[in-house]
Amino acid sequence: MARFVSKTPGQELSTLVDTATEQMQRRVTINDIAKQAGVSKTAVSFAFNMPGRLSSETAQRILDIARQLGYAPNPIARSLNTRRTNAIGVIVPQDISDAFSNPFFAQLVRGIGHVCNLEGMSLMVVPPMRGSLLEATYAALIDGCIVTGLETDDEVVRVLRQRNLPFVMIDADASDHVTCVTVNDFEGARQSMQHLLKLGHRDIAIVSFESFSGKVEQYTGTLRHRFDGYRSALKDAGLTIQNHGIHCLETKCSLAGGVEVFNRLMQLVPRPTAVLALGDAIAFGVIEAAQAHGLNVPGQLSVVGFDDLESSHMMRPALTTVRQPIKEKGQRAAELLMDLVHGRFGLPRHIMLPVELMVRKSTLRLGG
């Protein structure tokens, strides 16, 4: 006669936990999926990596069974098999905290992310690793990348070529051998300086984001093009960037950077009546600090930015700035990168997007 042993509720729960643990410890394999679906292991591999090799019904049935069994492909093994990670990178020369403290970067990534969503790709931000951007570039598991804040002769670009990774540069000097997306920095800067000069300002502080050299005469890329625009406008007015009332400073491209640089601006002789900031985030900080010190903007200090961030028109006063299509710049760069990754074109392409001066309430005629 069979003997039944009754279990307490606690014993029954323990048995269930042990059974579940045993099932979790035994990893589901493609053999299990193939057996359940009645197909070969090769068919299972095709379903995950090359579904076009199977009928849509067969591929979907295999994937459904895999989900039911709790199978998840090993991403590293899958990458080795397909030689693809289905991810692109955005290389930034700053720490992530510094990059995201500038709203410009968030808008740029939105444009890139839009294309990633359409293409079914993941997006990875690649900042310096242990202080080394080269080390991070070597280690990044990506199919291609968008490079920001660097020039075409940078060592990082050499590493990308060495790794045979497709890449697109943003805001770099155009090269015959590199695909890049830029905006008309020269014209934007020229118009913003012309605007202040027409308002009668001659004591002007130009505040740029931090460069690698720290010297205006050694600026490259975006900084060089914008300073060339400032020089052009000054020359038309019979002035130069070396004039007594023209001052050039650098700070971090963030609100905190703008607040920090304001204290230095107030020590300048002659004291500036206007500030040209090379980024809206800097302009925001300058305005905040000026108002905190009792200065009227624009009555005592006119401020011009560059970017036209989404919050620029909501500032009090609304910020006069140069509008550049930030999100579109990211989107166009990502589209070009996808073409490179998928082999849809081979020759380098250059895209320059237009800019527009947006005159708002943060600037005023001198003495007006």
**Tokens at residue 143, please?**
């199919």
Q: What range defines the domain where residue 113 resides? A: 87-183+327-353
Question: Which of 47, 82, 117 finishes a domain?
Answer: 82
Q: Could you tell me the pLDDT band of residue 13, with boundaries at 50, 70 and 90?
A: very low
Q: What is the DSSP letter of 166?
A: -
For residue 23, the model assigns a pLDDT of: 43
212: amino acid identity, one letter: F
Over residues 233-239, mean pLDDT: 97
For residue 84, the model assigns a pLDDT of: 67
Q: What is 79-134 written as a DSSP string?
A: HHHHS--SEEEEE-SS-HHHHHTSHHHHHHHHHHHHHHHHHT-EEEEE--BTTBHH
pLDDT higher at 9 or 260? 260
Query: In this structure, are 296 and 196 located in the same domain?
Result: yes
For residue 16, the model assigns a pLDDT of: 43
Report the SS3 class of residue 31: helix
Over residues 121-126, mean pLDDT: 94
For residue 315, the model assigns a pLDDT of: 92
Q: Could you tell me the pLDDT band of residue 218, with boundaries at 50, 70 and 90?
A: confident
The total number of residues written for the chain in this structure: 368
Q: Is it the case that residue 276 has pLDDT exceeding 60?
A: yes
For residue 110, the model assigns a pLDDT of: 95
Interatomic CA distance for residues 366 and 256, integer angstroms: 27
Q: Could you tell me the pLDDT band of residue 195, with boundaries at 50, 70 and 90?
A: very high
pLDDT higher at 31 or 292? 292
Structural domain count of the chain = 3
Report the SS3 class of residue 218: helix
Q: How far is CA 155 from CA 93, 161, 172, 197, 284, in A?
A: 12, 10, 14, 40, 33
Over residues 249-271, mean pLDDT: 94
For residue 343, the model assigns a pLDDT of: 87
Query: In this structure, are 190 and 179 located in the same domain?
Result: no
For residue 17, the model assigns a pLDDT of: 42
Task: Work out the percent of the chain whose per-residue pLDDT is above 70.
Answer: 89
Residue 149 φ/ψ region, left for φ over 0, alpha for ψ in the -120 to 50 degree band, beta for the rest: left
Return the ∠ at Cα 40 (arms to 38 and 43), rounded to 5°: 105
Question: Which of 34, 54, 82 finishes a domain?
Answer: 82
Interatomic CA distance for residues 18 and 10, integer angstroms: 12
Q: Could you tell me the pLDDT band of residue 69, with boundaries at 50, 70 and 90?
A: confident
Interatomic CA distance for residues 135 and 157, integer angstroms: 13
Nearest partner of 133 among 178, 88, 90, 92, judged by Cα: 92
Query: In this structure, are 154 and 227 located in the same domain?
Result: no
Q: Please answer whether residues 149 and 109 qualify as being in contact, where contact means their C-beta atoms are separated by less than 8 angstroms.
A: no
Question: For position 25, which CATH number holds?
Answer: 1.10.260.40
Stated pTM of the model: 0.78
Phi, psi of 271, deg, nearest 5: -70, 135
Chain centroid to CA 285: how far?
21
Tell me the β-bridge partners of 249. 207
Q: Is it the case that residue 82 has pLDDT exceeding 60?
A: no
Query: In this structure, are 174 and 251 located in the same domain?
Result: no
Over residues 24-37, mean pLDDT: 78
Q: Please answer whether residues 246 and 178 qualify as being in contact, where contact means their C-beta atoms are separated by less than 8 angstroms.
A: no
152-167, pLDDT tens digit by residue? 889 999 999 988 999 9
